[in-house]
Amino acid sequence: MGKEFYKISTGEKVTRIVIYVTIILLCLSIILPLLNIFALSFNSGKDAERGGIYFWPRIWSIENYKEVFTSSNIVNAFGISMFRTIVGTVASVFLTAMAAYALKSRTMPGVRIITMLLFFTMLFSGGIIPYYMLLKDLHLTNTIWVYIVPGLYSAWNIIIMRTFFQEISPSLEESARIDGYNDFSIFMRIIMPLSRPVVAVIALFNAVEHWNDWFTGAFYVRESRLRPLSTLLQEMLTRADALRNTLEQTAGTKQYEMLDKIQVTGNSLKMATIIIVVAPIILIYPFIQKYFAKGVMIGSVKE
């Protein structure tokens, strides 16, 4: 028998072309701004003020990164960010998985009420002032644990994990119980190894949130030694803009000479901080991409 070839209709060809063009445009809309940010971060700040869109530095300069990494608190801030990201992510994923495992049981008394209350917390917030008062009463303000403890719980993440756990065959648990496994052993030796995709997704969500969060360090921590990298970089941007505005508003030859010597501007410094913040996430993502692609499809296909 000869090989049968599937003939693509004109409508399918047009549909594929539209899909490919759309995907290419979406990719360009993401890649080109990143290239522009990269170029501005390595470009002389004075030259960047000329404006224009370019994807390669016109005048190479590392002054923006020198300004960032010569800060006296940069190493300590980086350590704080690493600590909160690693510890906060591991602890949050573990506790989220335990809560999801308990709620996946359809026979547990009160599971529906607990799930409804859990979902209710996603719809309403107590507000910043009550939240601050709660943190203060718990003695978490101005401590490193203010970055960890409040982020241990996420209703949305629990629901995502519970949905994934419910798709695991109950026969595996039944076989394990026959072999003498208790609930914790089943959770650690069976459920968690089979749940790598959803664990990767939740871990990535938590890690990005911890790494990029500057609000907590700015509002709930007074001591500079406890502030993370994102908060420190935000403060550096504010100081750089304030200094330049002060020099521009002050008349005199000396001030204009100082402006001419400045190679770092608020905008160029901002681009360097963006690269510093997003670089770790970009470097980590390829290693968990295969799990992430599977994890985001949780609940979309029913067998």
Has residue 286 got a pLDDT over 90? no
Query: Where is pLDDT greater, at 111 or 165?
Result: 165
Lowest model confidence (mean pLDDT) among 1-15, 28-42, 123-137: 1-15
Q: Give the CATH class of 63-295.
A: mainly alpha
Of 279, 135, 157, 274, the C-alpha closest to 206 is: 157
Q: What is the pLDDT of residue 24?
A: 95
Share of the chain above pLDDT 70, in %: 82
**Rounded Cα–Cα distance for residues 297 and 289 (Å):** 13
pLDDT, tens digit, 9 for 90 and up, residues 146-191: 999 998 888 889 988 998 888 888 888 888 888 888 888 888 888 9
Query: Where is pLDDT greater, at 192 or 284?
Result: 192
What is the overall mean pLDDT for the chain? 81
Q: What is the pLDDT of residue 232?
A: 82
Is-contact 192 97, C-beta < 8 A? yes
pLDDT, tens digit, 9 for 90 and up, residues 239-270: 666 656 665 565 554 554 544 555 566 677 77
- Is the C-alpha dihedral spanning 121, 124, 130, 131 positive or negative? positive
pLDDT, tens digit, 9 for 90 and up, residues 142-158: 999 999 999 888 888 99
Instruction: Name, of 53-57, 87-91, 190-194, 290-294, the range with top average pLDDT.
Output: 87-91
Q: What is the pLDDT of residue 198?
A: 87
* Domain range annotation of the chain: 63-295
- Residues 82-98, mean pLDDT to the nearest whole number: 93
Q: How confident is the model at residue 77 (pLDDT cuts 50, 70, 90)?
A: confident
CA distances from 107 to 16, 110, 281 (A): 47, 9, 40
DSSP string, the chain: -PPP-PPPPHHHHHHHHHHHHHHHHHHHHHHHHHHHHHHHHTB-HHHHTT----SS-SSB--HHHHHHHTSTTHHHHHHHHHHHHHHHHHHHHHHHHHHHHHHT-SSSTTHHHHHHHHHHTTT----HHHHHHHHHHTT-TTSGGGTTGGGG--HHHHHHHHHHHHTS-HHHHHHHHHTT--HHHHIIIIIHHHTHHHHHHHHHHHHHHHHH--HHHHHS---GGG--HHHHHHHHHHHHHHHHHHHHHS-SHHHHHHHHH----HHHHHHHHHHHHHHHHHHHHHHHHHHHHHHTTTTTS--
